[in-house]
Structure 1
C-alpha cells in the first residue's frame, strides 16, 4: 500500500495501528534507574607514557608560548592538560621514579640524580640502576600481571625487569658508551633498534632518534606498556635558559617529532593506545651562588686532605640537603649555629631543620622567603636521614662546591631546577588520554603511577599500611 493511500484509513484504524506499533517498542529494564545504565567495560588498550624533561607549567598556562608547541597545544586544549606538582628534590631521577612508584623519594630510594659523594669516588656517576629502587615499579607490577613492557631511555632502568629495555646510561659520552648500552639493554635489542632506525642510540642522540626508536619498538614488539623519555628541552633550558629563543625553537622541533610519533602509533584513533604525557619539573634562573660546604670545610666538618666528612650539603640546584656521615651525631645547637651563619651570608635562603612530626623546632629564616614550614616531611618525603634542607625562592643557585666564597654574584645566569616544589617555577605539566573517556585526577607526578595502573588494567595486591618493597 502506498503512503498516500494510508490517508484514506478511518481514524479508529489509525489509532489501533499506532497502539500496536508502540507496544512493540523495547522498554528499559524497570529495575534499572534512569542514568544508571551500565555499558560493557571497554577493552584495556596499550598504554604509552611519554616524558618531556624540563617542561615548565608556565609554557602551558601562558598562551604566548603555545606557538612553539602547536601540535601539543592543540592536543592539550582538546583533551585537557593540567599544571601539576613535582616532588622534592625537583630533579629528573627522583621525579621519574616517583612517576613509576607513586611515592616520594624518601620512600622509593632515588634521593637525587647523583649519589651523595662529596669526594667524587663514583666519578660523577648517576643513579642509573633499577636495583636501587626500594619498592615495586609499574614494570614490576606489569610483569606480575603478565603484561609486556618496553622502554626507550627512561631514567633508573638499568637492570629493570622490562621485556624490551633500552635504558639511559652513559659514562664518557663517546662511542665506547654504545658498547655499554648494547650490553645493558635487552640482548641484541640495541643493535636491532639502531639498524632499524639507521642512527646510533645513545645519550647524545637527539629526541628525534629516540622517538623514531619508540615508533619502531611499539610497532615491532607491541608492548602492553611502553615508557619513552626525551631530554632535549631540558638540555636547551640548562644551556640557554627557559623562554630563550634557542630553547623555544628546539621545542618547535620536538613538538613536531612528538606529533609524528603519536601519529605513528595511532594515538587518538579508534583502536589507538592510551597516552600519558608528563614532565618532571619546571625551570628557574639564578644570578647568584651560595656554597654552604665552604663554611663546613672552614669549620672542619669536611677534610679534603683526609677525604672524610662529618657533614656535607648535597645540592640539587635550588635546594641542598644536609647529610651526616654514618655514625655521626651533631647536636641541634651546633646545627643551628652553622646554618644561621650560612643564612646570614646567603641572603634569600632558609634553613629548615628536619624534625619528628611531634616536634615544634623553630626554623632560621633569611631574607624574602615565604615558603611554608613543613620540616616534619623532610625525612618522610625527601631523604630518610637528612638533618635539614637549605632552600630559597630567590634567583639563587645552591652549589655543592667546597671552593671559593660562600656567596657570589654569577657572571652569567645559571639555569636550572631543584627548587622547592611549592615554588611556582617548578610546576610542570600532565596530560592523559583515556580511550574509554574516563577522567583522571592528575595533581602530581606521583599520580602517573595510579593513572597508568588504571589505563593498563594492572592490579596490585592490597596490603595493610604503607606499600613496602617486595623486591629481593
Structure 2
C-alpha cells in the first residue's frame, strides 16, 4: 500500500456548484478558510451527460459513464411517469473509492451520496427515494443502507426533515454528518447536498433562492469544519468541497417523442400508455439519448437520422446538434444509443409523447409541476461557461491554484490521499495538488 497523505478525507459535494460561483464563494468566511489555506481549481470539466448520478459515479471511479456504467440518472423505461434511478452500487462497473478504502481496513461513511444503495460502506444513508405509491421513504432508505445507523439519525434529527423538501433535507443531512464525524471519525466521509441544485432548477441559475442556498452551504461547510475541530481530528483531516456540474437557464422544453409518435415510431393505447416503440428519446435534461429498440432496424435508424438532420437546420427546433452512438462513446457517454442530441441554449429535453413538440416553460409551471424547470444541466461539457469547481485544504494538500482539471481526475487524486489506488482509470492523479 502507498503512503497515506491524510487520515480523514471529507468530500463535500455541493450539487450544481459552478465555476461562476467563485466571486461569491471567495468572500464567504468558511469557503475562505479552504481557499486561503489550500488548493483551488478554477474550472473542472464535467462529463457527458452532465447529470448528477453519472457525475458522482465518475467522482468515485475516475472513469467516464460508458466505462463505469451509470450513463444517466434514470433507467430506460419508456412511458413510465417516474422511471427508476441508478440508485444501487451494483449499477457501477468496477471498483470505487469507498471499496478500496474499505479493503485497506479504513472506515467509510456516505450520506445521500448517489449510487450507494446496498454498498459495502460502514455508515451508509444512501440517496434513494420512495418511487412507488406503496413505498415508504424511511423503510426504503433503511433497507438499502446501514439500518441501525440510519435509525439513530432519524430518531435524533428526523424532526428537521420535511420529506424531500429543501432546505430542510440538507439541514437534516448536515446534522447527520456532524454527528457521524463526532461519533464515528471515519477515514472517508462523502456527503451530498442538493439545496443549490434544487433552487437553480425551480428558480433559475442566478435567482435570489439560489444565492440564499449558497449562503446556507457556507454555513454547512462551517459546521462540518467545526465538528472536525471538536472531534480533535481537524489537523489530520483533508476537506474537499466540489461541484459535479453547473447549470444553464432554459425556458422551453423539447419533446421529441411527440414527433416520434406522429411518425408511428412509438404507439399508445386508448389510455395514453406506450404499448410499443421503435425509437425513443430518453432525456438527460440538456442532452438526450435516442434509442432504437431493434439494433438491426436500419429503416428506423435512417428515418430518425433524416428527422434529426432536418431539425438541426431549423433554428427553432431546440436541437443544436447530434452525435452517433460511436461518437457519444468517444465523449464518454452511452455508446449503445443510436444518437445523442444536444439542446440549444434556452432549451432542454422532456420525454412527453403527447401535446406540443415545444412547450414554453414559465415560473408558474416550475412551481406547479416538478417536471418543469427554469435551469438545468446534462449539457455537453464543451458548452461555454459551464465548468464546475473544486477546492481542498488540510493534510496532504498543497496551497496552489490550478486553471483546470477534469471530473475524472478527482477519484484517482482522492484515492492517492488515502494511500489506495483505483487502478487503470480514465483520469489521473493530480499530483500538483498533493503535498507528499
Sort the TM-score into its range (normalised by shorter chain).
0.7 to 0.9
The structure-2 alpha-carbon separation of the partners of 1:411 and 1:168, relative to structure 1 and needing over 3 Å to count, comes to closer
Of 428-437 and 157-166, deviating more is 428-437
Aligned residues of 1:354 and 1:379 also touching (Cα < 8 A): no
- For normalisation by structure 1, the TM-score amounts to 0.78
DSSP-derived class of the 2:407 partner: coil
DSSP-derived class of the 1:252 partner: helix
Aligned residues of 1:351 and 1:388 also touching (Cα < 8 A): no
**Equivalences for residues 4-83 of structure 1 within 5 A:** 44-60=6-22, 63=23, 65-66=24-25, 69-82=28-41, 83=43
- 1:387, distance to aligned residue in structure 2 (A): 1.5
Alpha-carbon distance in 2 for matches of 1:341, 1:297: 17
- For normalisation by structure 2, the TM-score amounts to 0.84
Tell me if 1:154 matches 2:118: no
Aligned residues of 1:266 and 1:273 also touching (Cα < 8 A): no
2:297 is aligned to 329
Q: Which among 43, 50, 63 is matched to residue 90 of structure 1?
A: 50
Tell me if 1:444 matches 2:406: yes
Aligned residues of 2:5 and 2:395 also touching (Cα < 8 A): no
Alpha-carbon distance in 2 for matches of 1:106, 1:42: 30
- 1:409, distance to aligned residue in structure 2 (A): 3.5
2:347 is aligned to 396
Alpha-carbon distance in 2 for matches of 1:279, 1:127: 20
Alpha-carbon distance in 2 for matches of 1:111, 1:247: 27
The structure-2 alpha-carbon separation of the partners of 1:408 and 1:179, relative to structure 1 and needing over 3 Å to count, comes to closer
- 1:251, distance to aligned residue in structure 2 (A): 1.9
Tell me if 1:260 matches 2:223: yes
Tell me if 1:292 matches 2:243: no
The structure-2 alpha-carbon separation of the partners of 1:343 and 1:380, relative to structure 1 and needing over 3 Å to count, comes to closer
1:190 is aligned to 150
The structure-2 alpha-carbon separation of the partners of 1:173 and 1:213, relative to structure 1 and needing over 3 Å to count, comes to farther
Unmatched tracts of structure 1, length 5 or more: 1-40, 357-375, 468-472
Aligned residues of 2:280 and 2:291 also touching (Cα < 8 A): yes
Tell me if 1:407 matches 2:358: yes
Aligned residues of 1:68 and 1:249 also touching (Cα < 8 A): no
DSSP-derived class of the 1:452 partner: helix
The structure-2 alpha-carbon separation of the partners of 1:128 and 1:68, relative to structure 1 and needing over 3 Å to count, comes to farther
Alpha-carbon distance in 2 for matches of 1:98, 1:144: 20
Unmatched tracts of structure 2, length 5 or more: 364-372, 428-436
2:174 is aligned to 211
1:275 is aligned to 239
Tell me if 1:239 matches 2:202: yes
Q: Which among 226, 242, 247 is matched to residue 189 of structure 2?
A: 226
Aligned residues of 2:325 and 2:336 also touching (Cα < 8 A): no
Alpha-carbon distance in 2 for matches of 1:187, 1:392: 42
Q: Which among 120, 125, 128 is matched to residue 87 of structure 2?
A: 128
1:457 is aligned to 419
Tell me if 1:317 matches 2:280: no
Aligned residues of 1:207 and 1:254 also touching (Cα < 8 A): no
The structure-2 alpha-carbon separation of the partners of 1:172 and 1:132, relative to structure 1 and needing over 3 Å to count, comes to closer
Alpha-carbon distance in 2 for matches of 1:438, 1:119: 50
1:250 is aligned to 213
Q: After superposition, what is the alpha-carbon deviation per residue over 1:70-123, rounded to whole angstroms, capped at 9, x for unaligned?
A: 4214532442322211111111111011000111111111111111112218x4
Tell me if 1:386 matches 2:355: no
Q: After superposition, what is the alpha-carbon deviation per residue over 1:364-409, rounded to whole angstroms, capped at 9, x for unaligned?
A: xxxxxxxxxxxx3436610020112111341112222112222344
- 1:269, distance to aligned residue in structure 2 (A): 7.6
Structure showing greater relative contact order (alpha-carbon pairs closer than 8 Å, 6 or more residues apart): 2
DSSP-derived class of the 2:235 partner: coil
2:310 is aligned to 341
Aligned residues of 2:38 and 2:394 also touching (Cα < 8 A): no
The structure-2 alpha-carbon separation of the partners of 1:431 and 1:43, relative to structure 1 and needing over 3 Å to count, comes to closer
Alpha-carbon distance in 2 for matches of 1:434, 1:78: 8
- 1:242, distance to aligned residue in structure 2 (A): 1.3
Alpha-carbon distance in 2 for matches of 1:350, 1:264: 47
The structure-2 alpha-carbon separation of the partners of 1:391 and 1:264, relative to structure 1 and needing over 3 Å to count, comes to same
- 1:67, distance to aligned residue in structure 2 (A): 7.7
Aligned residues of 1:292 and 1:342 also touching (Cα < 8 A): no
Q: Rg bigger for which structure?
A: 1
The structure-2 alpha-carbon separation of the partners of 1:454 and 1:115, relative to structure 1 and needing over 3 Å to count, comes to same
